[in-house]
């Protein structure tokens, strides 16, 4: 029987313990025949171990009953209380899972669906294209912030805010409207004092599915993304994962508060 072609997805499956045992030998031969993929596998494994060690204490804490019910599929009423446990659980689940394609849930492993994957891929493509621009980084500048937010909210179909990321060292440059399959997407671009840029890419998502933070990395650009409460958002840039997580935490809270307001 001819061995199938392996891809980066199989690297994540192997690291997550999901690669079928009967394919393991062929997979190891594929790694040896593809040094670049072997190096990528080693890097992913190192990153995963470092992230797991950094939150080892959090991962052993008891899980609130609300999240156990949520993972079992039981619908929960939304609360107006600050989402501290929700964010903590999302962060813990994110760092416990494999990088770039898989999530370790509290009660098992789960693969990322197509909608979430397309969100991250679109965010990376848009960031790569526009973050490199010198004169036309955005369509509407930060000096017209109110107009920008109102326009993008109307076109995307979600009540948006442009999160304040000054505490993380980033100032709003502006934003633009982008196509996203059959939808519209909003992109907010931010820049720090060194000229490094991060972007928020937001779409409407009518599903009731909620996810923790998930990470996709392509060519040195990382996108930390999630689905929640009728929208999907991806925070994208070339920052280290820890810095991107800090920005994503702040953006998540502000987007949620803005939608409630």
User: Which DSSP string do the residues of 166-187 spell out, in sequence order?
Assistant: GGGT-EEEEEEEEEETTEEEEE
Residues 137 and 206 in one domain: yes
pLDDT, residue 93, reads 43
Residues 189 and 76 in one domain: no
Could you report the per-residue pLDDT of 158-173, keeping only the tens digit for each?
A: 999 999 999 999 999 9
**Domain contains 165:** yes
Mean pLDDT score of the chain: 80
Region 190-205: mean pLDDT is 96
**Domain contains 2:** no
For 73, the domain range is: 8-111
Global pTM reads: 0.61
Give, in order, the Cα–Cα distances in Å from 232 to each of 28, 59, 134: 36, 25, 28
Residues 170 and 249 in one domain: yes
The residue out of 111, 139, 166 marking a domain boundary is 111
The residue out of 52, 81, 111 marking a domain boundary is 111
Radius of gyration of the chain (CA): 19
pLDDT, residue 1, reads 45
Instruction: Report how far residue 231's alpha carbon sits from residue 191's, in angstroms, rounded to the nearest whole number.
Output: 24
Residues 90 and 131 in one domain: no
Residues 134 and 166 in one domain: yes
Nearest 5°: phi and psi at 229?
A: 55, 45
């Amino acid at each position: 029987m001819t061995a199938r072609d392996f891809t980066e997805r199989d690297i994540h499956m192997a690291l997550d313990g999901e690669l079928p045992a009967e394919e393991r030998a062929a997979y190891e031969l594929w790694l040896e025949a593809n040094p670049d993929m072997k190096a990528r596998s080693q890097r992913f494994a190192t990153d995963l171990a470092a992230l797991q060690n950094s939150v080892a204490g959090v991962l052993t804490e008891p899980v609130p009953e609300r999240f156990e019910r949520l993972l079992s599929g039981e619908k929960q009423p939304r609360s107006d209380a600050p989402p501290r446990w929700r964010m903590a659980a999302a962060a813990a689940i994110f760092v416990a899972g494999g990088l770039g394609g898989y999530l370790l849930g509290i009660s098992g492993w789960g693969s990322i669906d197509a909608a979430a994957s397309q969100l991250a891929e679109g965010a990376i493509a848009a960031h790569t294209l526009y973050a490199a621009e010198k004169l036309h980084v955005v369509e509407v500048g930060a000096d017209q912030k109110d107009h920008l937010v109102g326009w993008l909210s109307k076109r995307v179909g979600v009540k948006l805010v442009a999160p304040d990321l000054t505490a993380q060292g980033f100032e709003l440059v502006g934003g633009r409207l982008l196509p996203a399959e059959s939808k519209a997407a909003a992109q907010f671009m931010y820049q720090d004092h060194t000229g490094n840029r991060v972007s928020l890419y937001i779409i409407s998502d009518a599903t009731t599915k909620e996810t923790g933070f998930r990470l996709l990395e392509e060519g040195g650009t990382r996108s930390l993304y999630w689905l929640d409460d009728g929208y999907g958002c991806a925070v994208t840039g070339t920052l280290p994962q820890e810095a991107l997580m800090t920005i994503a935490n702040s953006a998540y809270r502000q987007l949620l508060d803005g939608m409630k307001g």
